[in-house]
Amino acid sequence: MSERFRGVEEFVAAVEAGSFAQAAQRLHITRSAVAKSIALMESRLGVRLFHRTTRSQSLTDEGAACYERCRRALQELEAARQEIDAGRLVPTGRVRVSLPDVVGRRCVVPLLLELAQQHPELVLEVSLNDRRVDLVEDGVDVALRSGALPDSAVLSARPVGHQWMGLYAAPAYLAARGRPTGLADLRAHQAAHRFIVYGRAGASGLWRFGQGERPEDTLPIPAPALVFDSIEAMSAAAVAGLGLVRLPKWLVAPAVAAGELVPVFDEPVPFGFPMHLLWPHSRRLPLKTRVVLDLLGQRLPGLLAAS
């Protein structure tokens, strides 16, 4: 890069991230490298870009004007790069992927490993975390999300099926406590059962059935026996015979096949959480991003439907 443009990317990242440390994390460099690049840019321009104290930073008037021009310049460079990349025959470069932890590890990562073998010039940076991230702010190229999507003018979405839920228990548990014949029967005999729910310690749960919207389609769990923030731990607890559990069908399919868990009752109208792939909207999608979206879009629906 020409000496005249050194520090521009670091400067824009520092403004948008709110600190040099966060900018360094986003750019995968050290904080001192960010500070040095911005200091050199200030020296070259002959102005101060930031008011800096030990606790905060804010743009000077000159910095605010400079930021707008630098931001637009980087957007133009990125658009040019995407147009070039969209015309490549071989996917090349880094793709940042954000995935929910368990479904990511179990269903998505094996697909990404296949992709990495097929395209060795593709660099996959994968985050497995249930925390919701801002794709644009955090520089994420592709994300998998569960549940209803908020309206967004900056994100594109592709449905990849539903995470269908089922009610399960160990055969020994049902033999000891009785097997409800349906939601109404479970509600009537709720006191006779133990419930394993997802959430934080002390939390109550709400199980949804059918359309999941009407009161008669929900079952509040005010006093669960066990509360986990891991659906894998919930499955293990149910296999151990410690209660009823509501889990994705794809997750418990092996335990059901082994006879360790059984569906408690049939659900005429299944309830599921919609799953979508999300990515920042672009007029021309880079090939490196498109191959990730295409593979996951083709293969994930079948994996999520497994029961």
Q: What is the pLDDT along the chain (307 residues), one digit of tens a residue?
A: 455 667 888 888 888 888 888 888 888 788 888 888 888 888 888 889 888 776 778 889 888 888 888 888 888 887 777 666 555 577 888 999 999 999 999 999 999 999 999 999 999 999 998 888 888 888 899 999 988 887 777 888 999 999 999 999 999 999 999 999 999 999 999 999 999 999 865 556 889 998 767 777 899 998 899 999 899 999 999 999 999 999 999 999 999 999 999 999 999 889 999 999 999 887 678 889 999 999 999 999 999 887 6
- DSSP code at position 224: -
State the first-to-last Cα distance of the chain, in angstroms, to the nearest integer.
53
Here the tokens at position 18 are 């709110």
Cα angle, residue 268 at apex, residues 264 and 269 outer, rounded to 5°: 110
CA dist 63 and 286 (Å) reads 32
Q: What is the DSSP pairing of strand 218-221 with strand 122-128? A: unpaired
| Ranges of H-type helices in 4-122 | 8-17, 20-27, 31-45, 61-86, 101-103, 109-118
pLDDT at 200: 66
Instruction: Supply the DSSP string of 146-210, one letter for each residue.
Output: ESPPPP-SSEEEEEEEEEEEEEEE-HHHHHHH---SSHHHHHHTGGG--EEEESSTT--EEEE-T
CA distances from 66 to 10, 21, 61, 73, 228 (A): 13, 21, 9, 11, 49
pLDDT at 211: 78
Here the tokens at position 164 are 């269908």
CA dist 264 and 252 (Å) reads 13
Here the tokens at position 285 are 């999608």
